[in-house]
Structure 1
Amino acid sequence: MKTRTLKKDKVNIITLGCSKNMVDSEVLSGQLIANDINVVHESEKRDHNIVVVNTCGFIDKAKEESINTILEQVDLKQRGKLDKVFVTGCLSERYRGDLEKEIEGVDAWFGTMELPLILKRFDADYKAELVGERLLSTPSHYAYLKISEGCNRTCSFCAIPLMRGQHVSKPIEALVAEAEKLVKSGVKEIMLIAQELTYYGLDLYKQRRLPELLHALADVKGLEWIRLHYAYPTKFPMEILEVMKQRDNICNYLDMPLQHIADPMLKAMKRQITRKEILDLVTSIREQVPGIALRTTLIAGFPGETLEDVEDVKRFLEEVRFDRVGVFTYSHEEGTSAYDLVDDIPAEEKERRAQDIMETQQEISLEKNQEMVGKVFKVIIDKKEAGRYLGRTEFDSVEVDNEVIINTDRKLKPGDFVQVKITRAFDYDLEGELV
């Protein structure tokens, strides 16, 4: 692409939203680099002349952040600081027509599955042989591995199928090849992600094949940790747990978003599961994999939610004692079946309910962390900050879970595995010393 600067183009990619978006940005980066185009991720140096904003359109806060970021980049362009601004991702996929009318100055808008069209804007070719080649935006010792795209579920609150389409699994062979490339580049831990992890394989192989995929990935030499994110609870494939027990490099960790506990809300959300079935599932998982860390996410303020429903959630958390919990407030999304319901809970009340639930979990988290004091755990080092090292146990994923604070004079580097004895516990973090 020729620009008025006559300098070689340098592209800055800004990624908003989830880890699945991050992988898309990394793949775009790999393609641009293969076409001899300079790329950086979220650079603050301002030495680039083109920006690609990879947007999120999942909930109101994410949309607002995406729009503000687009406007900031357009302003830089209008002030002569940039030559081009491109927008891609979920927000662009969903609202492209409206955004084109309302925001001037964007050079082109792209959907979630239009990578070849983006590359054309750079006079670049899509290189099929680069499947699995990415410029990581994460630290070099961990990466996300997206095993499928889209979702076939019909949860009433969720707009993901509108933005990402139907479920499409990647072949096992392709995922293993991608994992091998990641390990060769220095990756020690991969987080498996998808809109719906447990559905994997149904489209390609006419049966759920996540257990087979896990075995194949566990065979990749040098891959120390494999972590599972976003497992749907309905018709949960229990064979996954057998693999987890058999393979040492699959973390005893499962991220399983439940969204709610109260039966009226589960029905309204079209979750295809009941409170009792959730309790039975959690009990079975813990029986099969003793010591497993269970993470879940919940929604507060869904239309029609009562204070008794909120109390039910809190009682369930106290009974089940999840290791990790995140709470989001309900976002009224047009195009979803819940949009036909009256969004009858004020935003302030949604926030209050979310905070109320998190305060219950905060006490549980502190108690669980206190139980770890005096015990020794394998910890991966993520970074050094303020003179101390920060790492994680196998029971904690990146950014969303606990960190282990380590004070030591030993020289450690990101990706190192060390044995740490826990000496102090906080609400959401641990402190320890090297063994």
Structure 2
Amino acid sequence: MKTRTLKKDKVNIITLGCSKNMVDSEVLSGQLAANEIDVVHESAKRDHNIVIVNTCGFIDKAKEESINTIIEQVSLKQKGKLDKVYVTGCLSQRYRDDLESEIPEVDAWFGTMELPLILKKFEADYKSELLGERLLATPQHYAYLKIAEGCNRTCAFCAIPLMRGTHVSKSIEEIVAEAENLVKRGVKEIMLIAQELTYYGLDLYKKRMLADLLNKLADVKGLEWIRLHYAYPHKFPMEVLDVMRERDNICKYLDMPLQHAADNMLKAMKRQITRREMEELIAAIREKVPGICLRTTLIAGFPGETQEDVEELKAFLQAQRFDRVGIFPYSHEEGTSAYDLVDDVPQEEKERRAQEIMEVQQEISYEKNQEKVGKIFKVLIDKKEAGRYLGRTEFDSVEVDNEVVISSDKKLTVGEFVNVKITKAYDYDLEGEVV
């Protein structure tokens, strides 16, 4: 008599949204693997029978993408191609009750802090001894390192505190141990992330400790680049800049979302800072760290924004000449204080304004890139595509910034550093040759 063999479960994790979600998925992967459960990340092979969708609930487009992905996976389940569909992350945290009634085919919904509950579905235990251990979804040579969770700010447009809670810092010891662990596995660059990096340590140590943390991380042998994402301008800890200037392996790069430049918009957004204060801060940053690359993020079409405000923002960009800029059309998010305001800028107009602002930045980016022609930069090789190598300088973060397209007769290795002379420059990318 033939006995039926039970096929072992295989889990595919799909991650949507930001790098913070990516880290959560990597930690979940590590926990499942430690419990001897077969797990992959965004596999196209379709040889898995369980899917976990890690959702984003940040703005309308992200929510739409998350819902479409859930529906796609539920459809595969209905066709018999999947046994289970689980959903976690920010969208699930924020809209769980509504989603449960609208998409009942999902087997279980989990919030952002419910990793142990997900593991229970697999009869797996949360292994606290796996401090910082995770299965990297990034290439081996770089990784994101989350230093805190949640946010204490009350920016009018932002729903993150609704989904991630208040600010909770990890200890310096825990972060350093995680960084050392990553370096042992071949990581050369870590990108520090949190909802707000510059608040780091206030809850644990009763003072801002980002500078102390950076000094400790800079001592980790083999860690060649440390990059800072999501600094908040209000009460910026200036001692961070001293460490950045003094330590060679801290990238001269700062990602500081400013959101707007018109004072009436900054006040309505509850940003706790004025245009003049931002200008003074930017000047001080550039004075303390000559040659620093400044990245910022802006919002177009916030309630009450006029064309005059847009002109002021464009003038601010022309005066400040940021190296990198990202822009989002405003998304009217329930639960935020801005939700009480009239969302009076039509979607099409928000997008038109965003485009108009980005055209100003595009010109600045082109001019700044032209200045790099003929100069030599240390470049980290990220990948090889269509016979050419793609890399980044210390002034560029993954996926959001410039790439350097490299021609080389000799074979280069992904994850190695090479010196590249820039030969051509475009709006957002550079070309160069190895020297």
TM-score (norm 1): 0.99
Distance 2:131 2:149 in 1: 15
TM-fit CA distance, 1:104: 2.1
Matched residue SS, 1:87: strand
Cα distance, 1:131 vs. partner? 1.5
Query: How many Å apart are 1:5 and its aligned residue?
Result: 8.0
Q: How does 1:144-155 map to 2 (within 5 A)?
A: 144-155=144-155
CA distance, structure 1, for counterparts of residue 379 and residue 91 of structure 2: 37
Report the equivalent of 1:178. Answer: 178
Distance in 2 (CA, whole Å) between partners of 1:347 and 1:177 is 46
Match of 1:339 in 2: 339
**Does the alignment pair 1:40 with 2:40?**
yes
Partners of 2:178 and 2:297 lie apart in 1 by 29
CA deviation vs aligned residue, 1:12-63 (integer Å, no higher than 9, x gap)? 0000000000000000000000000011100000000000000000000000
Which residue of structure 2 aligns with residue 165 of structure 1?
165
Tell me what 1:372 maps to: 372
Correspondences of 1:233-272 after superposition (within 5 Å): 233-272=233-272
Q: Which residue identity is paired with 2:379?
A: V
Q: For the residues of structure 1 that align with 2:5 and 2:235, how far apart are their CA atoms? A: 57
Summarize the alignment of residues 91-130 of structure 1 with structure 2, pairs less than 5 Å apart: 91-130=91-130
Deviations 1:359-413 (A, max 9, x none): 0000000000000000000000000001000000000000000000001121112
Which residues of structure 2 form unaligned runs of 5+? none
Amino acid at match of 1:145: L
Q: How far, CA to CA, are the matches of 1:254 and 1:200 in structure 2?
A: 15
User: What's the CA shift string for 1:214-238, capped at 9, x where partnerless?
Assistant: 0010011000000000000001000
Q: How does 1:223-238 map to 2 (within 5 A)?
A: 223-238=223-238
Aligned to 2:407: 407
Equivalent residue, structure 1, for 2:20: 20
2:129 is paired with a residue whose SS is helix
Which residue identity does 1:325 align to in structure 2?
V
Runs of 4+ in 1 over 6 A off after TM superposition: none
Provide the residue aligned with 2:275 in structure 1: 275
1:192-244: CA deviations, max 9, x gaps?
Answer: 00000000000000000000000010011000000000000001000000000
CA–CA separation in structure 1 for the residues paired with 2:279 and 2:6 = 63
The code of the aligned residue for 1:183 comes to V
Give the alignment's TM-score, normalised by structure 2: 0.99
2:329 match:
329
**Residues 45-99 of structure 1, C-alpha deviations (whole Å, 9 max, x = no match):** 0000000000000000000000000000000000000000000000000000000
Per-residue CA distance 1:313-352 (angstroms, 9 max, x = gap): 1001000100000000100000000000000000000000
Query: SS at 1:415's partner residue?
Result: coil
Q: Secondary structure of 2:214's partner? A: helix
1:425 shift after superposition:
0.3
Cross-structure match for 1:82: 82
Q: Equivalent residue of 2:226, what SS?
A: strand
Give the AA of the match of 2:314: K
Correspondence for 1:219: 219
Q: Counterparts of 2:222 and 2:56 in 1: how far apart (Å)? A: 33
The residue that corresponds to 2:50 in the other structure is: 50
Task: Look up the SS of the partner of 2:157 in the other structure.
Answer: coil
Distance 1:10 1:217 in 2: 36
SS in 2 for 1:128: coil
- 2:76 corresponds to which letter in structure 1? L
Deviation at 1:418, TM superposition (A): 0.1
- RMSD in angstroms over aligned alpha carbons? 0.7
| Counterparts of 2:170 and 2:219, CA distance in 1 | 18
Letter in 1 for 2:332: H
How many residues are aligned here?
Answer: 432
Unaligned runs of 5+ in 1: none
Is 1:385 matched with 2:410?
no
Letter in 2 for 1:356: E
What is the CA-CA distance between 1:246 and the residue it aligns to?
1.0
Paired-residue identity, % = 82
Q: Which whole-Å CA distance do the structure 2 matches of 1:197 and 1:182 have between them?
A: 20
1:340-355 equivalent positions in 2, closer than 5 A: 340-355=340-355
Q: Which residue of 1 aligns with 2:68?
A: 68
- 1:358 aligns with 358
Cross-structure match for 2:136? 136
**Deviation of residue 174 (structure 1)?**
0.2
Give the match for residue 200 of structure 1. Answer: 200
**CA distance, structure 2, for counterparts of residue 206 and residue 421 of structure 1:** 46
Q: 1:319 maps to which residue?
A: 319
Tell me, in whole angstroms, the C-alpha distance in 2 between the residues paired with 1:172 and 1:259. Answer: 30
Pair 1:422-2:419 in alignment: no
Partners of 1:160 and 1:174 in 2: CA distance: 24
